[in-house]
Amino acid sequence: MKLLAVHPGPLMYTQIYLRLEPLGLEFVAEAARQAGHQVQLIDLQVETHKAYFKRIERWQPEVVAFSCNYLANVPEIIDLAKQTKEKLPHSFILVGGHSASFVPRDILEHGAGAINCVLKGEGEASIALLLQAIEHDPQSVTKTPGVVTVDGEGPPPRFVESLDDLRPARDLLRHRRKYFIGVLDPCASIEFSRGCPWDCVFCSAWTFYGRSYRVVSPDKAAADLMRIKEPNVFIVDDVAFIQAHHGFAIGEAIMKKGTRKKYYLETRGDVLLRNKEVFQFWKTLGLTYMFLGIEAIDEDGLRRHRKRVSLGTNFEALEVARSLGLTVAVNIIADPDWDEERFNVVRKWCLDIPEIVNISVNTPYPGTETWHTEARRVQTRDYRLYDIQHAVLPTKLPLPRFYEELVKTQQVLNQKHLGWTALKSTAKIAAGHLLRGQTNFVKMLWKFNRVYNPQLQLADHQRPVPYAMTLPPPPQDTIKPELLYIHAPGGRQGRAIDAVAEQFVDATRMGTSA
C-alpha cells in the first residue's frame, strides 16, 4: 500500500531555538516500509500545507498517517485530515503519537468521520498489523492492538519486542539541513533509551510508557550513529544516561568506530551527579549542550512537581555541568499563581547564573497527573494553548500582567544568549555556518521579539475555538494507574528499572509520598 507519513507544523518554541527531525514518525515509517509498503514522509515543520496537498494529489496515497506528539497540533491535524478526506475519499486516515494516545476519542469526534482510527502507543509495534488489516480485511482493523475507532477499540497497545530491531527512515526526510538546535546546525536525532522511571506530576513521558525504561544495545546505538551524516546529534532520551554502564558502553562503541560529532542531551540533576564520569567521558566524545530539568528554585516547588530531587542536588549538578565546560540550559516552570514579586526573584536568579534559562508555564496535559487533579480549574479547552507557553489555569495576576511578567523574564534569555551578545561570542561558528549555507542558527538570533510578545500571547486566547477537548471526570482521592497509562506497567523490565529510580530517590531522600 502507499502510505504517506505526516508530521504537523511547528509550535511557538520551534520557531526560534530549534527544529528537530520527527524521529518517532521515521521509526513508524520504517516499520511500514519493512512490511513491504511504499512509504513517503512529509514534515510540515519545514514544508507548507500547499506542498502537502500537492504531494497527496500527485502521489494519491491510500493511507495517510499523522503524527500527533503535541496536543497543540490537534486542530491542525483535524483540519488537514478533513481536507484530505475530501480530496481522497477512499483513503484511510489514521492519527498516532504521544498526545493522540491520550485523547483518541476526542480526535475521532472532532474528525467527524474523516479520521478512520487512532493508533495508540508505540507505532512500530502495530503499524504493519494495521496496514495488513486495512489491505486485506478492513473489518479486522479494530482487532489491532492500540486501535481506537468510532465503532470500537482493539486490545491494549503492545511494546516493540526490542528497541534493537528498530531503525528510523532518516532517508525519507527531504530537507535535512533545516534541523538544528542552537549552534548545532544542522542536527540529526538519535534514541538510546525509551521511557522514564520517575513520575513527575506535570509530565506524561512516564505515563505513556507505563513507567518502564528500555535501552538500545550499545553496538546497535553506535551503528545507528554511524548512519547519521550530520555533524551534530540530538539525543532524544527523556533522561540521558540513567545507567552509567550503558552510557559508558555506547561511548566506547562510538570511540571504537572513530566517529566524532557534537551532542545535545537532556538529563536530571541527580543523574548527572551520580554518573558524573559518564558525562565527563561524553564531553571528550563531543558532548556540547546539556539541558537540565531543574523546574523550581525552591524546595516546595520541587515537592509539588514530585521531582524527587532536592534543591541542593540540583544546584550541585549545575556546578558540575559548568565545570565540564558545557553549554547548559535549564528549565523552570512558571506557576500561574506567580505574582510580580515571584517573577522578580526568578528574573534575578536568571540574570545571576550563566546558564540559558527556559521558562515554561505549568500546564495540565492529558496523560499527566495534574490533568486529573487540576482539570476542573482550566480556563480554556483550546488545544492550541496547551504548549506550555500559554496559561491555561487561572492566573493570580490579571492575564495581561502575567504575560508581561512572563515575557519580561524570558527576555533575560534573549538579552544574555541571543542577538548581538550571542553573535559576538559565536562569531567564528556563525561565520562557518554561513559559509556552508547553514542559516538556521544565525536566523534564530533575532527572532525572539517577533515570537515572544505578551499582546500576541493574550490575543491567542481570543480566537474562536474550533475544537474543544473533553475534561476528565471529577478528581478522585487516588488516581488509578489505568487512567494514566497508555502502555500498561509491569513486566520484569519495568520493575527492574523502578529499582533504579528508587535508588535515586533514596539517595536524594525527599520523603515525598507516592
For ligand B12, the binding residues (CB under 6 A) are 10-11, 13-14, 18, 20, 22-25, 27-28, 65, 67, 69-71, 94, 96-99, 119, 122-124, 127, 189, 191, 203-205, 208, 236, 238, 360, 365, 387-389
Q: In whole angstroms, how close is the CB of 481 to ligand SF4 at the nearest point? A: 15
Q: Is 268 in the site for ligand SF4 (CB under 6 A)?
A: yes
Within 347-482, strands assigned E span 356-361
Helix H or strand E encompassing 213: strand 213-215
198 binds, among ligand SF4, ligand B12, none (CB under 5 to 8 A by kind): ligand SF4
268 binds, among ligand SF4, ligand B12, none (CB under 5 to 8 A by kind): ligand SF4
Q: Is 205 in the site for ligand SF4 (CB under 6 A)?
A: yes
Q: In whole angstroms, how close is the CB of 364 to ligand SF4 at the nearest point? A: 14
Q: In whole angstroms, how close is the CB of 198 to ligand B12 at the nearest point? A: 12
Residue 67 phi/psi, 5-degree rounding, is -100, 125
By CB under 6 A, the count of residues binding ligand SF4 is 11
CB–CB of 169/39 below 8 Å? yes
- DSSP labels for 467-510? SBPPPPSPPPSS--HHHH-SSPP-HHHHHHHHHHHHHHHHHHT-
Options 13-21, 58-66, 200-208, 452-460: segment touching ligand SF4 (CB under 6 A)? 200-208
Determine the length of the chain: 514
Q: Is 238 in the site for ligand SF4 (CB under 6 A)?
A: yes
CB–CB of 184/232 below 8 Å? yes
**3 state SS for 240-254:** CCCCHHHHHHHHHHH
The Cα 200–Cα 306 span in angstroms is 5
CB–CB of 24/69 below 8 Å? yes
CB–CB of 66/77 below 8 Å? yes
24 binds, among ligand B12, ligand SF4, none (CB under 5 to 8 A by kind): ligand B12
Which of 239, 321, 356, 375 contacts ligand SF4 by CB under 6 A?
239
CB–CB of 265/291 below 8 Å? yes
Positive/negative CA dihedral, 439, 442, 446, 448: positive
- DSSP labels for 218-234? HHHHHHHHHT--SSEEE
13 binds, among ligand B12, ligand SF4, none (CB under 5 to 8 A by kind): ligand B12
In 3D space, the residue among 191, 215, 211, 194 whose CA is nearest the CA of residue 203 turns out to be 211
Q: Is 494 in the site for ligand SF4 (CB under 6 A)?
A: no
* Sheet bearing 92-96, strands edge to edge: 38-43, 2-7, 63-67, 92-96, 117-119, 147-148
116 binds, among ligand B12, ligand SF4, none (CB under 5 to 8 A by kind): none
Q: Is 293 in the site for ligand SF4 (CB under 6 A)?
A: yes
C-beta of 32 vs 205, nearer to ligand SF4: 205
C-beta of 43 vs 270, nearer to ligand SF4: 270
27 binds, among ligand SF4, ligand B12, none (CB under 5 to 8 A by kind): ligand B12
Q: In whole angstroms, how close is the CB of 352 to ligand SF4 at the nearest point? A: 24
Which of 134, 196, 392, 406 contacts ligand SF4 by CB under 6 A?
196
Q: Are strands 213-215 and 287-295 parallel, antiparallel or unpaired?
A: unpaired
239 binds, among ligand B12, ligand SF4, none (CB under 5 to 8 A by kind): ligand SF4
Q: In whole angstroms, how close is the CB of 200 to ligand B12 at the nearest point? A: 8
Interacting residue ranges for ligand SF4, rule: CB under 6 A: 196, 198-200, 203, 205-206, 238-239, 268, 293
